[in-house]
Structure 1
Amino acid sequence: MKKENIYETMENDVLNANLDEAEKSKLLKNIMRLKDKKVNIMITGATGCGKSSTINALFDMEVAKVGVGVDPETMDIEKYELNNLTLWDTPGLGDGKEADNRHAKNIIKKLAEVDENGDALIDLVLVILDGGTRDLGTSYELINSVIIPNLGEDKKNRILVAINQADVAMKGRYWDYEKNEPMDKLKEFLDNKVISVKNRIKEATGVDIEPIYYSAGFKEEGEEQSRPYNLSKLLYYIVKATPTEKRAVYVNNTNEDENMWRDNDDLLDYGEETRKSIMDSVVEGASRGVDVGGDIGGEIGGIFGKTGERIGRAVGSVVGGVIGAVGGFIGGFFS
């Protein structure tokens, strides 16, 4: 089934709303502006860290268009296009000094690119670490010497470090396979690893990073996909690190398999927080410059209440939990 496009949904609801033509026009122009927003994420890490499994777990890769840079010097970086979301999948580092130097130069070159407005092309760099290895030297070199020095002034908000393969961090011991979560001993180990990574990066660069750990799961040919852990948490951090006006992009692209999002730690309701972040983006962007007082405010609240319900259906169970049932929340924005 083809997903219902969030922007088309909003446009239809506005056209059918009880508003004067001037207010409809403003709303539609704002929605068109949101529709043009693009998100570019660079995904990088050492060889074997699980970049591909993470991409496949997070996003609906069946509709992705795969391409490469038109510049022969950056042909190693794969480009996946999912509607207005573009993923730049860089080669893994750790396969030799010569190859690593070439890949590092290509990463730096990509980070230096700007969009048509002169802003940095890459909105967010997701650096994936291998939780199953103690040797993170290549990853630290990538983060400290390649990524962070080339992120410009807004370094802290343009990088996310995530430790994958949490389930094999202690060689598979202390993982509760029935509940699909770490036991206390493994949880303590992973928490300490997060602190260690944070401190190493801070000491080397002066930048405060808040790493998280997760497991993207895996899928062997002919086998069922194993359930990820903390994937909703990873999505929440990705959305939170994305510029507010661009967050709606994720609605049309997240994986619709509810089993992928089921298991997470209980530190936060990541689905609810992600829903709020995305709907903040939708409401703020679509209503900019529109008088939301009085009856008009109530009508607009109703529009986005209906839109939110339809978004929940459009993106399936997982993001239905993330963004569904927004009527009351959106209504509160305009009351």
Structure 2
Amino acid sequence: MASFVLQFVPQLVVLISLFHLSMAARNLEQLVQDQTSSTLRYHNGPLLYGKISVNLIWYGQFKPAQRSIVSDFISSLPAFSSSKPSVAGWWKTTEKYYRLAAKTRKLSSLPSLSLGKQILDESYSMGKSLSEAQIKQLAAKGGQSNAVNVVLTASDVTVDGFCMSRCGTHGYSRSSKSHKFAYIWVGNSETQCPGQCAWPFHQPIYGPQSPPLVAPNGDVGIDGMVINLASLLAGTATNPFGNGFYQGATDAPLEAASACPGVYGKGAYPGYAGDLLVDPATGASYNAHGTNGRKYLVPALFDPATSSCSTLV
């Protein structure tokens, strides 16, 4: 089954949020400028709709506090927040894709995401080195109808391609009843490659060397996972089965978040995430409020109405 990869390019490490980047020879500044002048084409395929449970499959050892950072993020997607800007406000940008798709395809409804069940696999049932096929097996443990199953691997788990070419994946598989279900995999890069998959909360290995930002929830690995998960969720909603909204080749698509690499706030440029909010108590950088008083950093999304990267701040 198809899968779409959240890749990085070592020479351009600030492009953390790229899926199948195939233009590594171009510099970051050129890439950002080109993407904001482009349009993600709709390929007339189905999008996610209706009530969708986001099920979390925790593979390996995660502390309860780490799990709550991610689960609170998922709970923040549909939640109204009196604190602006919010995660829910960021997610609403995806609705613009649905309005565009509705012009050529009948859509039942917008997707309504909610936190589903959480499955703990703390015994490393498949070992500490996983293949893509094993990721799909783990994803199948979640609900296989009206669901997005998210596999989160601990910092001591290696996955094929992790840190060498990718930070995460989204794709789809089929259940025993031949239903399609969407899945996402994101790895905790804290000890394996934080300079590649947890930027801007860690000094990059290559590229412009600006000081790392303070992670809003005090955990470089998990806050980095949230950034990658947010990117992949946006891609899953708008291109769940490989024939939704994307630009470029089918095996190297730029999607809603990956079309805006390295951009988190206004004024972003290579090595600089943009003008962000700063928590005066902790010095942490963020651009979105979530539930339970959480603060998060979420990537810019490509706005199809303006053909530009839309940021919350």
TM over 0.5: no
Task: Indicate the structure whose relative CO is greater, using CA pairs within 8 Å and at least 6 residues apart.
Answer: 2
Q: Which has the higher helix share?
A: 1
Q: Which has the higher strand share?
A: 2
TM-score by length of 2: 0.31
TM-score by length of 1: 0.30
